[in-house]
Amino acid sequence: MNKHYSLPLFPLHSIICPGGLMRLRIFEPRYLDMVKNCLRNNSAFCLVAAAPEKTTRPDNKLPFASIATVMKISHADVTTVGLMMIDCIGQHRVKIHSFTQQADGLLIGDISDISNDCEIANPDELKILSTRLQNLIESFDDQG
């Protein structure tokens, strides 16, 4: 049985895979406090996909996806008072079993680790698309 532990949850209308990079603009007080605690304690938080409004699934009693990605903050920058930019790296996937809400509104998830998706080789007919996508991604730096 997987060991359960707790981490703060950051619901967002996006997802990230393990190994992925994401820049976040933090301005809500509960999330500013979360980031400060993560930086102070060298800890992580979970990025979880928020459920579309008025959407419920009978198999999921959570107001967000039941699978999340643990995020580690790699860089933080306070640009102005009350605004922080952070760069994060996706670590691994977790399952959210339940959550509690703190007085400040921050959600704390009861989670356990799950295995990441397995990697599979690109089929021959998709290799050209893979190469083009890689070239496009590499060109982003040149384009600013």
| pLDDT the model gives residue 100 | 95
Return the pLDDT at 109.
96
The answer to whether residues 102 and 47 touch, using CB atoms and an 8 Å cutoff, is no
pLDDT given at position 60: 57
Based on its alpha-carbon atoms, the radius of gyration of the chain, rounded to whole angstroms, reads: 17
pLDDT at 11: 95
pLDDT of residue 81: 86
Which pLDDT score is estimated for 142? Answer: 76
Containing 130, the helix (H) or strand (E) segment is: helix 127-143
Query: Consecutive sets of 10 residues in the chain, 144 residues long: mean pLDDT of each?
Result: 90 92 95 96 96 60 90 92 94 95 96 82 81 84 72
Would you state the pLDDT for residue 41? 97
